[in-house]
Amino acid sequence: MDSPNEHPPTDPLTKNNLQPFFVLHKASKSSESTARSPRKPSKRRLDSSPKVSLNNENMKENLKMEAFRCVWSKIDSSIKDVLRSINADVFDEIGRWVRESFNAICSCRGPVDTSKSSLPYPFVHNGGIVRNLFTGLVFTKNIETVDDILTFAELGLNLKSRGCYVANISSLDFSTKNGIGGCLRAFLRQLLMVDIEAADVSLLVSWYSDHGKYEKPVVVIIEDMERCSGALLSDFVNMLSEWSVKIPIILIAGVATSTDALRNLLTSHALQYLSTSTFFLKSPSERLDAIIEAVLVKNCAGFSVGHKVASFLRNYFLRQDGTVTSFVRALKMAIVQQLSVEPLSFVLKFLVDEGDNKRSCCEDLADMSEELIKHAFELPSYRTYSVNRNNHVELNAMSLCQGLSELQRLQELWRSRLMCLHEAGRYHKVALLDLYLEALDPESYNSRLSNHDRDSAKDKSLLSNNDKLFRLQKAEVTNQVIRKIRDLPAAKLSQLLKSWERLTEGTIEVHEKIIELQSQMVSEDVKSHKAELTDISKRHINRCRLNKEKDACTSNDKAMTLAGQTIRDNMLPIECMPFHELICFKDVDNLQSALIGDPRRRIQIDLLNFYKILKCGCCSNSGGTLSPSMHDTSIMYLLAQEYGDLINLHDWFQSFKVSISSSGKKGLKKLASPKKRKDNTYSQNNSDALIQARFCRAVMELQITGVICVMARCGGVTDELLNQNYVKEATRCHRMVKII
Amino acid sequence: MNEEQNPQTPRRTTRASLSSTPNPKSCKAKLKLCNKQPLTINDLAYGDESISLDDLISSLPGRRSQISELLRLLGPLDSPMFPVFVYGGASTGKTSTILQIFKHLKRPFVYCSCITCYSPRILFESMLNQLLLHRRNESNRYSSTKRCERPSDFVNFLKEALCNVVDSLKGNMVKSSSKKSSGWARGKMVYLVFDNLELAREWDKSSNILPFLFNLNDILKMPEVGLVFLSNASPDTYYSDTGYVEPVPVYFPDYTEDELRQILMKKQENLKLYSSFLEVVLRPFCRVTRRVDELSTAFSTLYQIYCEPLDDLGIVPSEDMKRKLFTHLQPHIGPSLNETFKVENRLSSEASAKTNKWKGIAKKNGVCESPSEIDFHMSACAKYLLICAFLASRNPATLDASLFDSTGGSNNRKRKRKSSEKSKEKKENAEQELLLKGPGTFPLERLLAIFQCIVSVSECLPDEEAQGDGGLEGESWTNGLLSDVLLELSSLCNANFISKCGSCPLEGANRYRSMVSEAMALKVARSLKFPLAKYLYRG
């Protein structure tokens, strides 16, 4: 078992348990500068770049920039479209509900009396006070709210376009610091367009009645309800409900978790006033599926990722972040890295441009230097390809262009098959993400091929063939989906075939087979229908039914084999295609380090290898050993490394003192700086104070960078003493610093 | 137009003439036109409509004695009065009674609710704005007439404003005696109504606002001013040590069952059907609550269910049908008794078709369905963290070492020792104590330690997921994990699953507490296939 204590000592900070120094900060994700794994691709760039001339280099950079802009803008816009369309249904629903609620309020209020409505007493209806507040709970289905900031902004715009007054309030406005006044001010500022010092709801009433606005409801959108302070939110609801009839206020709240959150947050009083309806946004995995379909599966930008990258992205999504936002960011990083690493990757731009611009691709490639073209033919994917095929094409731009178009053709096939699978998987709620991942896996493809070869030699009974096909493979989800085609009812099967027909329009054989299958199904249907009509006797019907079931079975089986076959034949993962390196990003390590970022590790490495940065003459040759000329913080950190995880502050100080002063004398002799000697002549006391000050500063620096954290809770008496000691020294140090 | 701009000359009889126009449409149009008109003194009273005493009493069932008491305290026209303190439980008709009484009396009053006026300043300014007939609108940039934060300023302004109002009311009387004017405010008294006064107790730490308000009568020394306080809390709960004349209390008791029936019946269309419905539900619900608002929200949904089998809502139910409807309703009564907050499920059209069946089943059982899975997305890391936090809050810290030892707690033979009677009792006590204490707090380090243990254990488990994903997975799982854990922790805090407690001043580190229920934690554990029950310390 891999117990945490068996970790190598070089990575002390990932250890668990009660350690005195803990890592406290969250890595900033945008930092792309992390030195972790050996960078093969960057090496390659270094190899290739000196060969090309400067002019060429410039042009290449331009091309790359242009390609990035082109590709990313396309991807970005398609992602936005997807997200917009995925929310459209819910928005419609919400819009309808807002209208209904508004009508309900109006019917309760009766005819409008503008002069009375601005007066501050509640509306008495039928002898009682109406304090219902129509509330829509929009469940975002994700505890991370990053993805939904945009959603709610768009919901606001959508409702505005439907003729509502909309105010978006975020949880930041519901902070206890500003009180209810702050939240009201933020709310009123959006509607009244003035900043009011003493805001109260009655202003809203006078604004509402002043403008003769009785045709429109006022919608308040609270984006992330869970983050709001419960007391304030309750007050807010109370306040709004007091005016709920005089101004038709409708509340929309985004809820990340469940309705329990509302129960826990609000007071029972406030809950009483809410008459709620619930709406559900699409779950993040559904959204991700839609994005993958639009960006990576459908030919949106020509860009694609390798299997390992895809599996990393999937794991990152499922296990750690779970937001679409981070997925999109990862995608962007992948494109940037691909473009920066791969010299010929600007062909992406040509792949994006459709139709007429294809020719210009060849022309542009012809303009390229020969090294670049050669580089393309030296790619490992092409090498294996050409070795396998034994073909010797002339290595020029034309053949590269052809190769690229072939690549595109193959990808097109792959895409359509994947979409076929997706269609089939839809009936069993299989995520496209999983299918996509398996479809990218080159290993499973290879095993599939070898299986097929083996099988083709043997007897080809349908069932055994299938069994072998499925048993020996790694692609679990894909096979499940194919297997489940057998269980589909006829109606769904014909529906599926119809969608397949649409998807496989490019390839004739498969298309024909599908049409054949469809016609077969139709004829079966007619047959059985006729049989049912003509034969009335019970036995007959029974038999017919049996027959029919058998027939259905066969057509289902046929569909299944067809799917299996077409996948085996046509679903070539991108990593098995020649020239795929140009458009396919495969470097997981780089992406991971860019996405997750590990600034602490960076700091640690820099602290240990400080001489690489400082580039001073005195310590670079000393390597890792301590020397007094080193930077204080580095000395401290090195000492900390010697001590392990738990450092007694006193010991630390002592060893710091020793390492400074003992070798300090040595250093003094070496450096012979007059100033230091002068210092030395001063009293011992003074130098002690100086060392203490330096020590404290270094500790502070280490603390600020987050490499260490002073733990108070260790439980021992010595530790307490230690802490007191630390505090004392720190204060003294401050005083010293100030005096100096 | 000059006259119109002067708010002190109540010459225009717009309100009265408008209210007498028979056509509501033209009335509305005119109102829109005169929207920007300055307010007149008559706007302080309910001008346009009047209700007779009988209407007043019948509109408020069960409040006859309180109404007559209040009318007695308010006295005949133009008679000075002592301050009145109206109190009673929530939703017992205090505010509506007062408002309806003023509607009946047509006397000018100023109403301020401490819900809307959430601070002394807003209370003061709102009151002054009303008295000075000031309307905050775009033209004055929504500002008040007077900026007034201190009670002393307020008294000065208030006196001034009240004098003006009383003067104009007197002028009003002279005119009204000559002309017939139904819409005009009657009398020269002005009443100040403070609603929801119990909230004012929480304003400011310097609790001088309440004594000030109670003392207002003495401070103003104006016989033309009447004060009415409305509060949920009884007068005993207010400080009364500053020597003011205690206001006359009027108590609004909770409604009786009969009164509730009358109130609830008022709004209904099919009285017979509704009364048969009330016969079934009112008694059990009355034992739980007598608040009209709670009852009416609870009944509105129940009534819908009650009416479900009926095609025609206008029918008069026979005994047989009543029985049928009752059996239909009965399973729903119990659950809704316990429910304070109901969420109406509004499904999109396609989804509703799917779930209709499922809903029907749930309704048959009469039980609120609790889904066995969590229906929102959480990353696996967050789920583990949630479980860890739950464990850290539930289990005593001393047990950690034995639970998460080197074997990862997978053998729990040790803990399954037989226990004697005495120790059992002890454990029961401890369990109760645990329940009373609620979830415990824990430092971040303990959470991280447990997290590390649990993650390492679950990685060793022959999990099918881990198998399928191969070696790459494990790598990405531990790489850069710690930094992400803290991010996940913060998002869990944001979702209120884990709450940050105040940091200990000695230790300086934050402590956390898990806020999730056991059911929720179990659900999360199930989704991870994590054996949570094995790790729970049960007394």
Chain B positions touching A93 (Cβ under 8 A) are 346, 348
- As a whole number, mean pLDDT of residues A549-578 equals 72
Q: Is A165 helix (H, G, I), strand (E, B) or coil?
A: strand
pLDDT at residue A738 tops 90? no
- The rounded Cα A106 to chain-centroid distance in angstroms is 44
Query: Scanning every residue of chain B, which has its alpha carbon at the shortest distance from the alpha carbon of A91?
Result: B348
- Which one of A242, A264, A308 has the shortest CB-CB distance to B113? A242
Least confident of A56-65, A451-460, B183-192: A451-460
Chain B positions touching A311 (Cβ under 8 A) are 469, 472-473
Per-residue pLDDT tens digits for B151-178: 888 999 999 888 888 888 888 777 666 5
Nearest CA-CA partner of A14 in B392, B386, B477: B477
Chain B positions touching A260 (Cβ under 8 A) are 517, 520
B322 in Cβ contact with B276 (< 8 Å): yes
Q: Does A206 touch chain B (CB under 8 A)?
A: yes
Residue A2: predicted pLDDT = 39
Chain B interface test: which of A106, A115, A123 (most B C-beta within 10 Å): A115
A546 in Cβ contact with A557 (< 8 Å): no
Nearest CA-CA partner of B116 in B107, B125, B108: B125
**How does residue A220 score in pLDDT terms, banded at 50, 70 and 90?**
very high
A510 in Cβ contact with A558 (< 8 Å): no
Euclidean distance between CA atoms A14 and B482, whole angstroms: 7
Q: Does A586 touch chain B (CB under 8 A)?
A: no
Euclidean distance between CA atoms B516 and B393, whole angstroms: 10
Between chains, do A16 and B449 touch, taking CB under 8 Å as contact?
Answer: yes
- Which one of A89, A242, A260 has the shortest CB-CB distance to B115? A242
Mean pLDDT of chain A: 72
pLDDT at residue B412 tops 80? no
Residue scoring higher pLDDT (A296 or B182): A296
Residue A456: predicted pLDDT = 46
pLDDT at residue B26 tops 80? no
- Which one of B116, B407, B482 has the shortest CB-CB distance to A14? B482
Residue B228: predicted pLDDT = 92
Percent of chain B beyond pLDDT 90?
5
- As a whole number, mean pLDDT of residues B489-493 equals 86
- Which one of B24, B340, B452 has the shortest CB-CB distance to A16? B452
Report the DSSP beta bridge partners of residue B499: B513
Q: Is A305 helix (H, G, I), strand (E, B) or coil?
A: strand
For tokens 């609000």, what's the residue?
A266
pLDDT at residue A187 tops 60? yes
Chain B positions touching A214 (Cβ under 8 A) are none
Burial of A36 (0-12, 13-18, 19+ CB in 10 A): middle
Strand ranges, E, within B319-414? 343-344
- The token pair that represents B76 in the structure block: 């005949």
pLDDT at residue A159 tops 80? yes
Euclidean distance between CA atoms A408 and A414, whole angstroms: 10
pLDDT at residue B221 tops 90? no
Query: Scanning every residue of chain B, which has its alpha carbon at the shortest distance from the alpha carbon of A13?
Result: B482
A243 in Cβ contact with B116 (< 8 Å): yes
According to DSSP H, which parts of A615-716 are helical?
Answer: 632-643, 649-671, 674-681, 684-705
Residue B242: predicted pLDDT = 62
Chain A positions touching B130 (Cβ under 8 A) are 119-120
Between chains, do A206 and B137 touch, taking CB under 8 Å as contact?
Answer: yes
- The rounded Cα A142 to chain-centroid distance in angstroms is 13
Between chains, do B491 and A90 touch, taking CB under 8 Å as contact?
Answer: no
Residue scoring higher pLDDT (A418 or B427): A418
**How does residue A54 score in pLDDT terms, banded at 50, 70 and 90?**
low
Chain B positions touching A227 (Cβ under 8 A) are 494
pLDDT at residue A183 tops 60? yes
Residue A23: predicted pLDDT = 35
Between chains, do B380 and A319 touch, taking CB under 8 Å as contact?
Answer: yes
φ and ψ at A161, to 5 degrees?
A: -70, -20
Which positions 696-735 of A are in contact with B (Cβ < 8 Å)?
Answer: 711-713
Per-residue pLDDT tens digits for A698-716: 888 887 777 776 665 444 3
pLDDT at residue A78 tops 60? yes
Per-residue pLDDT tens digits for A305-337: 888 888 888 888 887 777 888 888 888 888 888
What residues contact B438, with CB distance under 8 A and at least 6 apart? none
Chain B interface test: which of A34, A121, A250, A596 (most B C-beta within 10 Å): A121
Burial of A110 (0-12, 13-18, 19+ CB in 10 A): exposed
Between chains, do A283 and B117 touch, taking CB under 8 Å as contact?
Answer: no
For tokens 């108590």, what's the residue?
B251
Residue A15: predicted pLDDT = 37
B220: closest CA of chain A, how far (Å) = 23
pLDDT at residue B413 tops 60? no
A190 in Cβ contact with A227 (< 8 Å): no
- Which one of A121, A145, A322 has the shortest CB-CB distance to B379? A322
Least confident of A133-137, A195-199, B126-130, B241-245: B241-245
B247 in Cβ contact with B235 (< 8 Å): yes
Between chains, do A140 and B479 touch, taking CB under 8 Å as contact?
Answer: no
Mean pLDDT of chain B: 74
Per-residue pLDDT tens digits for A90-115: 999 999 999 999 988 888 777 666 55
Which positions 20-59 of A are in contact with B (Cβ < 8 Å)?
Answer: 22-27
A203: closest CA of chain B, how far (Å) = 7
pLDDT at residue B353 tops 60? no
Number of other CB atoms surrounding residue A498 within 10 Å: 13
Per-residue pLDDT tens digits for B58-107: 888 888 899 999 999 988 888 888 889 999 988 888 888 998 888 888 88
Per-residue pLDDT tens digits for A255-297: 888 888 888 888 888 888 888 888 988 888 888 888 888 888 8
Q: Does A196 touch chain B (CB under 8 A)?
A: yes
pLDDT at residue B504 tops 70? no
The model's pTM is 0.75
B41 in Cβ contact with B9 (< 8 Å): no
Report the DSSP beta bridge partners of residue B512: B442, B500
Between chains, do A27 and B480 touch, taking CB under 8 Å as contact?
Answer: yes
- Which one of A16, A180, A203 has the shortest CB-CB distance to B448? A16
A463 in Cβ contact with A560 (< 8 Å): no
Chain A positions touching B122 (Cβ under 8 A) are 198, 200
Residue B419: predicted pLDDT = 55
Least confident of A565-574, B40-49, B368-377: B368-377
Percent of chain A beyond pLDDT 70?
68
Euclidean distance between CA atoms A455 and A564, whole angstroms: 13
Burial of A646 (0-12, 13-18, 19+ CB in 10 A): middle
Query: Scanning every residue of chain B, which has its alpha carbon at the shortest distance from the alpha carbon of A202?
Result: B116
- Which one of A116, A196, A596 has the shortest CB-CB distance to B142? A196
According to DSSP H, which parts of B289-348 are helical?
Answer: 292-307, 319-337
Per-residue pLDDT tens digits for B303-340: 888 888 887 777 777 888 888 888 888 888 888 877 76
Chain A interface test: which of B115, B133, B204, B348 (most A C-beta within 10 Å): B115
Q: How many CA atoms lie within 13 A of A688 on its CB side?
A: 6
Size of interface A-B (CB pairs under 8 A): 292
Q: Is B117 helix (H, G, I), strand (E, B) or coil?
A: coil
Per-residue pLDDT tens digits for B231-281: 988 888 876 666 677 888 899 998 988 888 888 888 777 888 888 888 888
Q: Does A597 touch chain B (CB under 8 A)?
A: yes
Q: Does A318 touch chain B (CB under 8 A)?
A: yes
pLDDT at residue A249 tops 60? yes
- The token pair that represents B101 in the structure block: 């009484």
pLDDT at residue B494 tops 80? yes
Q: Is A670 helix (H, G, I), strand (E, B) or coil?
A: helix
Chain B positions touching A283 (Cβ under 8 A) are 376-377
Euclidean distance between CA atoms B258 and A652, whole angstroms: 80
Angle (CA) B107-B108-B109 rounded to 5° is 115
Residue B15: predicted pLDDT = 39
Query: Scanning every residue of chain A, which has its alpha carbon at the shortest distance from the alpha carbon of B142?
Result: A203
Euclidean distance between CA atoms A382 and A569, whole angstroms: 20
Query: Scanning every residue of chain A, which has its alpha carbon at the shortest distance from the alpha carbon of B300?
Result: A275
Residue scoring higher pLDDT (B293 or A376): B293
According to DSSP H, which parts of A535-598 are helical?
Answer: 538-570, 588-596
**How does residue A534 score in pLDDT terms, banded at 50, 70 and 90?**
low
Residue A583: predicted pLDDT = 79
Q: Is A462 helix (H, G, I), strand (E, B) or coil?
A: helix
Nearest CA-CA partner of B486 in B500, B472, B469, B475: B500
φ and ψ at B69, to 5 degrees?
A: -60, -45
B39 in Cβ contact with B7 (< 8 Å): yes
Query: Scanning every residue of chain A, which has its alpha carbon at the shortest distance from the alpha carbon of B262?
Result: A127
Provide the residue type at B60 as one letter. L
Chain B interface test: which of A6, A16, A307 (most B C-beta within 10 Å): A16
Residue A677: predicted pLDDT = 46
Chain B positions touching A278 (Cβ under 8 A) are 343-346
pLDDT at residue A7 tops 50? no
DSSP state of A332: H
Euclidean distance between CA atoms B502 and B105, whole angstroms: 54
Sheet holding B441-443, edge to edge: B441-443, B511-514, B498-501
Residue A501: predicted pLDDT = 79
**How does residue B13 score in pLDDT terms, banded at 50, 70 and 90?**
very low
Query: Scanning every residue of chain B, which has its alpha carbon at the shortest distance from the alpha carbon of A268?
Result: B340
Per-residue pLDDT tens digits for B389-405: 998 888 888 887 777 76
